[in-house]
Structure 1
Amino acid sequence: MANSAHADTLPPGGHAADDEGELALKDLAARYGLSVSGARPGLVPYTRQLWQRRHFIVAFANAKTRAAYATAQLGQLWQILTPLFNAAIYYLVFGLMLKSDKGVHNYIAFLVTGIFIFTFTQSAVLAGTRSISDQLPLIRALHFPRACLPISFTVVQLQQLLISMLVLCGIVLGTGEPVTLKWLLIIPALALQFVFNTGLSMIVARIGAQVTDMKQLMPFLLRTWLYVSGVFYSISVFTRKAPEAVRWMLEANPAAVYIELARDALVESHHKIPMHTWALGVGWALVIGIGGYVWFWQAEEKYGRG
């Protein structure tokens, strides 16, 4: 009875009136060029907006870099000390205790190059995972392409890597490696890795925005990735007796690919890499860089909501 009484109080054709009102609002919005607040633009306009905010991306990255070490007494010197300490610990464990230097002529240069290059990807992924979820006040206060955030955090890691590269080159020279024209190959190698890292950062940024526990899970995933990327050992040596498929999967691992490209450029005593390593580097950069960007853009409307 209550339901029928309530129904009797509704005006005749109530639902139809609502539909007509909604259509009228849509027509009014179309007439004056209005759109839904926060609606996702097309991919090309979105890319154009992102390019227009390139200065914001760099400025945001610079601010984050300064803030990261603002309270430390040694300041940004930790950008150099952290990978050096990691290299010293890993050399003690894997070089001296576990004897992982089999088949490697210059293990110190081999190891340090692997650590510095992998740290670039590792740090970009960790920062990307938090780039949306930790910046919700900024996202809700200002309108801008949300891809600016994971890109900015990847630029921060690139800045730190470039500073660390000065130390890396010094270590490589100190171990007796000569300066050759091949050192110039480090530029395209790092450029490809940056594109790959940016795409991967956007992938984990979208996942991290929806699954908050990803922040806690990611360090374990990255540690596993570290151990299978040939940072401490030569993949070709350790897979001599392994099935061909296992060796191929380890060598095609993107982290291992970019590490090998950097070692081939800087460490003359390192074994010559096959040409398909460069093809893999380009392929990973295109697939993850473009794919990650498009996948991130598809959820543009969802970031900061809820």
Structure 2
Amino acid sequence: MSGDTTPTGTTPAAAQPTPADEPRPVFTRPLLVREGRRPLHVEPVDGTVLRPVASRPPLREYLRLLWDRRHFIVADARARVATSNSGTLLGRAWLVLSPLLDAAVYLVIFGLLLRSSRGIDNFIGYLLIGVFLFRLTSSTVSAGARSLIAGRSLVRSFSFPRASLPLATVARQTLAFVPTLVLLVVLVLLTRPAAEDTWTPPAELLSWRWLLVPVVLALQLALNLGLTLIAARATARVPDLAQVVGVLMRFWLYGSAVFFSFDRFIDHPTLLQVVELNPMFRVLDMVRDCMLYGQTPTWESWAILTSWSVGLLVLGTVFFWRGEESYGSV
């Protein structure tokens, strides 16, 4: 006879199985646990009120959280603009000198050497608008694509809507563009159209169509934001895409009529219409019409640019939000 005194059909208490779906007990009052002779205070934690750092709230709640952090986004953008060139002798002057030097290089290469200025009235103003405005989009998307990677320590440590980082990048690049925009207005007013023999006073170049330029720039801002959100999520998943973004920006540069007109190179009307679907081409063409040529942009231009800007903004917001839980591993 065995020495086991356990009654037949029963299981010892230590060996009784616990159902897998049985919830763990939640302590409702502090416990005193002794370690040697010293009692330790243990504070109970209700696990039902905890949530992961990288949780994804509903889209409407997500947008509200972003709006609540608007002051942080603007303050961060201002601080980074103020310190962006602090280690140089000219400091903030590079905010306008850098795009101005780019325009000078393109003027020498395309205007003087390749003669792409032929057939374009006021080529200097045409070139300045193209270089300055395209540089805003290019620098915004390129910097925004790296925003999650650059802020990985914040992403891994704190719970906040991750879209705050690319939004701060867009805000920073937009604020940095303000001095450039002021310089652009001054240079356009001081530029004499090449087709005229006499200098045109700046007052005669102004018209009510200049009031349409901020509307075009607002659509460009929405376009930049949508593209930045898309690029930020894609680059967070595959960091090597940050290099590809720079290549795509250069390709887009040559396809947006920044320093030459497509009319000289494309004779087929259908192909020209396809090229004109480019949203940045529409941005540059509409601003040039308002500031240089005294023409009101056509409704087709407004429709195409608005469709691109609103569509990419909505697509970028949803696309970035759906990846919210994955950014903690960047």
The equivalent of 2:210 in structure 1 is: 183
Matches within 5 A, 1:278-293: 278-293=302-317
Shift of the alpha carbon at 1:263?
1.1
Note the alpha carbon deviations across 1:2-40, whole angstroms, 9 max, x for none: xxxxxxxxx9997x84x415xx26999999444344210
In structure 2, runs of 5+ residues without a counterpart are 1-13, 28-44, 193-201
Q: Distance in 2 between matches of 1:249 and 1:13?
A: 74
Matches within 5 A, 1:75-224: 75-176=91-192, 178-224=205-251
Cα distance change, pair 26–108 in 1 and its aligned pair in 2 (3 A): farther
Cα deviation 1:104-147 (Å, max 9, x = unaligned): 11100001001111001101111111010111012222221111
The Cα offsets for residues 239-274 of structure 1, whole Å up to 9 and x where unpaired, read as: 2x1351x212211111111111221221126x7643
Any conservation in 2 of the 1:61–1:155 contact (CA below 8 Å)? yes
- Give the SS at the match of 2:145: helix
- The match for 2:197 is none
Tell me how far apart the structure 2 counterparts of residues 27 and 45 of structure 1 sit (CA, whole Å): 29
Residue 181 of structure 1 aligns to which amino acid in structure 2?
A: W
| Residues 102 and 237, structure 1, Cα contact 8 Å, conserved in 2 | no
After TM superposition, the structure 1 = structure 2 runs for residues 220-239 of structure 1, keeping only pairs within 5 Å, are 220-239=247-266
Residues 25 and 207 (structure 1 numbering): CA distance in 2 closer, same or farther, change over 3 Å?
Answer: farther
C-alpha distance in 2 between matches for 1:275 and 1:124? 27
TM-score w.r.t. the length of structure 2 is: 0.81
Change over 3 Å in CA distance of 1:219–1:30 after alignment to 2: same
The equivalent position to 1:262 in structure 2, one of 272, 280, 287, is: 287
AA aligned to 1:251 is E
Task: Pick which of 24-33 and 179-188 moved more.
Answer: 24-33
Distance verdict in 2 for CA 1:88–1:140, change over 3 Å: same
Query: Retained in 2: the 8 A contact 1:102–1:234?
Result: no
TM-score scaled by length of structure 1: 0.88
1:218 is paired with a residue whose SS is helix
Q: Match of 1:132, SS? A: helix
Larger fraction in helix: 1
Are the counterparts in 2 of residues 132 and 150 from structure 1 also a CA contact under 8 Å?
Answer: yes
8 Å CA contact 1:117–1:262 kept in 2: the answer is no
Partner of 2:328, secondary structure, is coil
The alpha-carbon distance between structure 1 residues 102 and 34, as it changes in their structure 2 partners (threshold 3 A), is same
C-alpha contact (below 8 Å) 2:290/2:297 kept by paired residues: no
Query: Between Structure 1 and Structure 2, how many residues are aligned?
Result: 289
Match of 1:242 among 239, 248, 268: 268
Contact 2:54 2:327 in 1 (8 A): no
Structure 1 residues 96, 137: CA separation in 2 closer, same or farther (over 3 Å shift)? same
What is the CA deviation profile of residues 65-101 of structure 1, one whole-angstrom value per residue up to 9, with x for unaligned ones? 1232111111111010011000000010011111111
Distance 2:274 2:162 in 1: 34
Structure 1 residues 13 and 214: CA distance shift in structure 2, 3 A: farther
Identity of aligned residues (%): 35
- Whether contact under 8 Å (2:209, 2:296) holds in the other structure is no
Change (3 A) 1:27 1:107: farther
Q: Please list, as runs of the form range in 1=range in 2, the aligned pairs for 1:27-46 lying within 5 A after superposition.
A: 32-46=48-62
Unaligned ranges ≥5, structure 1: 1-10
Backbone CA RMSD of aligned residues: 2.4
Which whole-Å CA distance do the structure 2 matches of 1:89 and 1:13 have between them?
81
Q: Where in structure 2 are the equivalents of 1:14-33 lying within 5 Å? A: 17=19, 19-21=20-22, 24=23, 32-33=48-49
